[in-house]
Amino acid sequence: MKKIISTEHAPKAVGPYSQAVEANGFLFISGQIPINPQTSSIIEGGIKEQTEQVLKNIGAILKQAGLDYSNVVKSTCLLSDMDNFAAMNEVYAKYFTNEMPARAAYGVVKLPLGVLIEIECIAAK
């Protein structure tokens, strides 16, 4: 059985998908991009500012499901430019401070709405 997780503290989906789905003790968080949920606009600034907003959005979804960053077991980071990898890691390390999740990071040609980063996560209860 699955349960749809949704919060107004993270951006609404920009397509036919859910913010997150809970199933069998896992929470699958859809790729989050740096949209401010209050204004529905993309955060201005560079990779650090955009990564910060993405992780805040993920945190809001985790909280709605009764979880936090320590429950994340896997993340996937998509970057529009791999030259931003080190700067993204600086921000990422502020949110994942011990027992780091497994992670993959990819450089991609393009991301939705022209953003610099998208991150998806899987968390376990």
pLDDT confidence of residue 8: 96
Q: What are phi and psi of 99, to 5 degrees?
A: 45, 60
Rounded to an integer, what distance in angstroms lies between the CA atom of residue 13 and that of residue 57?
12
pLDDT confidence of residue 103: 98
Taking residues 39-66, what's their average pLDDT?
97
Rounded to an integer, what distance in angstroms lies between the CA atom of residue 115 and that of residue 104?
18
Q: Please name which of 47, 14, 46, 44 lies closest in space to residue 31, comparing C-alpha atoms.
A: 14
Taking residues 13-36, what's their average pLDDT?
95
**pLDDT tens-digit readout, 64-110:** 999 999 999 999 999 999 999 999 999 999 999 989 999 999 999 99
pLDDT confidence of residue 94: 97
Q: What is the pTM of this model?
A: 0.96
pLDDT confidence of residue 15: 85
The amino acid that residue 46 corresponds to is G
How many folded domains does the chain comprise? 1
pLDDT confidence of residue 104: 98
Rounded to an integer, what distance in angstroms lies between the CA atom of residue 117 and that of residue 12?
17
Residue with tokens 């022209």: 114
The domain in which residue 44 lies consists of 2-124
In terms of Cβ atoms closer than 10 Å to its own Cβ (0-12, 13-18, 19+), residue 60 is middle
Domain with residue 13: its CATH number is 3.30.1330.40
Q: Please name which of 117, 29, 109, 107 lies closest in space to residue 72, comparing C-alpha atoms.
A: 29
